[in-house]
Amino acid sequence: MRMKVKKSLFAAACAAILLGGLLALSGSVFDSPKRPVIYMIVKVDREDYEFWRLIRAGAQAAAKEHGCDFVFWGPKYENDAQEQIELVKRAIEKKPDAIIISAVDQYLLSDAAKQVADHGIKLLLLDSDIHSDVSRSFITTDNAAAAVDLGHHLLDRLRAGGEIGIVSSTMNATTAIDREKGFKEAVEASADSRASIAFKEYSQENVDKSYHLTKELLRKNPNVTGLYGVNQQALEGIAIAVRELGVQDRISVVGFDSSRLIIKGLEDGIIQAIVVQKPFNMGYASIISALKDKSETILTGYELITKETMYSPQNEKLLFPFAE
């Protein structure tokens, strides 16, 4: 794999340019002489989750730039809603200026999120929303629109009458729900009914489970010619299974997120297209938004990347953001 070494974080400069004008700090907690304290509680805190690693890097860059004390927490496993709730409660006890949450489950985290607001702490949601009318800021990708784009790309590759399998993440995460919804809309709106959805299963944020699900579902559904993974773990499991089975010539694969394994799959023709979000920008924007005295929604953008476009200057920066 061709890895271009970069000596510094490209994204800090990009984020500052992209977000600087939009995210001015007028009327912020900087009106107070004390250093703002911001807690971020994400779905998982592990180095093998590229997306959250870049979220943290962006948030740390913004916090350093603007003189904030920043704390980053997350469960060991991404589907552990109970641990995430406990982390939110611990953060509330610290009485920070803001708490940023990426909810594992839109229902299970709604009460904990409401407690943040009830304690007079600014609440922000990052990546995934909650099922509540509590006032909050929301920093995210337009997941439904990105999924529509992936659906159209996959449909363009399929023969008439093909079937598609979906490997999702968890049932009650709003990111997964939006990505399923947008993809299904693209398939169902297909004018010539080129394909139909044969199955949808949940990997529970586990690469190994996605791998075994994919192998079993392909065995049971021999007419499947397309697979869609809704996040890094689902897509990695699909890619491993397709490579192992040697079916890349008859099955097209698309999905969300990037990692070493996914990039290798894109280069080798195992994966045909991915949507790459802008997690550094998401982390950066969430800190800037936390410093404001108003609630807002910020969409940080995405790119659909194929083997043919992966080494364009813009896409290379998204796929290989850090020096090795």
Report CA-CA distances (Å) from 302 to 49, 145, 321: 18, 10, 15
**pLDDT for res 77:** 87
- 251 and 153, same structural domain? yes
pLDDT > 90 in the chain, percent: 81
Is residue 272 domain-shared with residue 282, that is, in the same domain? no
Overall average pLDDT of the 112-138 stretch: 96
Question: Does the pLDDT at position 6 exceed 50?
Answer: no
Whether residues 151 and 71 share a domain: the answer is: no
The answer to whether residue 258 scores a pLDDT higher than 90 is: yes
Tell me: do 88 and 163 sit in the same domain: no
The CATH number linked to 81 is: 3.40.50.2300
Tell me which residue range forms the domain holding 225.
143-277
Mean pLDDT rounded to a whole number for the chain: 89
CB burial class (10 A; 0-12, 13-18, 19+) of residue 38? buried
- At 95 the three-state DSSP class reads coil
- The answer to whether residues 148 and 124 belong to one domain is no
* Nearest alpha-carbon partner for 122 in 145, 107, 139, 104: 139
Same domain, 203 and 253: yes
Residue 4 belongs to a domain: no
In a shared domain, residues 152 and 245: yes
Q: Is residue 56 part of a domain?
A: yes
- Is the residue at 322 inside a domain? no
For residue 189, the model assigns a pLDDT of: 86
**pLDDT, mean of residues 10-32:** 47
Q: Are residues 32 and 99 in the same domain?
A: yes
In a shared domain, residues 242 and 158: yes
Confidence at residue 162, expressed as pLDDT on a 0 to 100 scale: 81
Instruction: Count how many domains the chain has.
Output: 2
Across 210-235, average pLDDT: 96
250 and 185, same structural domain?
A: yes
Assess if residue 313 is contained within a domain. Answer: no
Query: What's the pLDDT tens digit per position in 107-124?
Result: 999 999 999 999 999 999
pLDDT score recorded for residue 241:
98
What pLDDT, on the 0 to 100 scale, is given for residue 11?
45
Residue range 135-140: average pLDDT?
Answer: 96
pLDDT of residue 172: 92
* Lowest mean pLDDT, pick from 40-49, 64-73, 139-148: 40-49
- What are the distances in angstroms from CA 300 to CA 42, 83, 95, 294? 17, 28, 28, 18
* pLDDT tens digit sequence for 153-193: 999 988 666 899 999 999 999 999 999 999 999 998 876 66
